[in-house]
Amino acid sequence: MLKKLFSTSLIALSIIFCSFSDSAAVQTECEHYFQTQVINGIRYLVEYSCDGSIINIVEIEE
């Protein structure tokens, strides 16, 4: 019984520490992301930084 409780505790701790280390890695490795926007019928490719500010806007010609 004590052995089962100990192994369950180790598994729970490993899950907790892995989730913390994964979230820390995501926060330090921030990348830009792209999104298409339609403004007045014109499509644009908008590049955003990880904090949400606009870096670049390019008109998409069809």
Q: Which residues pair with 38 in a beta bridge?
A: 43
Q: What is the DSSP string of 9-25?
A: HHHHHHHHHHHHHHHHH
Q: Are residues 42 and 59 in the same domain?
A: yes
Q: Are residues 4 and 23 in the same domain?
A: yes
State phi, psi for 43 to the nearest 5 degrees: -90, 135
Q: Residue 41's domain spans which residues?
A: 31-62
32 to 6, 7, 44, 49, 51: CA distances (angstroms): 43, 41, 16, 5, 9
Q: Are residues 38 and 62 in the same domain?
A: yes
> Does the predicted model carry a pTM greater than 0.75?
no
Tell me the chain's radius of gyration from C-alpha atoms.
22
Give how many domains the chain has, as a whole number: 2
Q: Are residues 62 and 36 in the same domain?
A: yes
Per-residue pLDDT tens digits for 5-48: 444 444 544 444 444 444 444 444 567 788 888 889 889 998 88
Q: Are residues 42 and 19 in the same domain?
A: no
Q: Residue type for 23, please? A: S
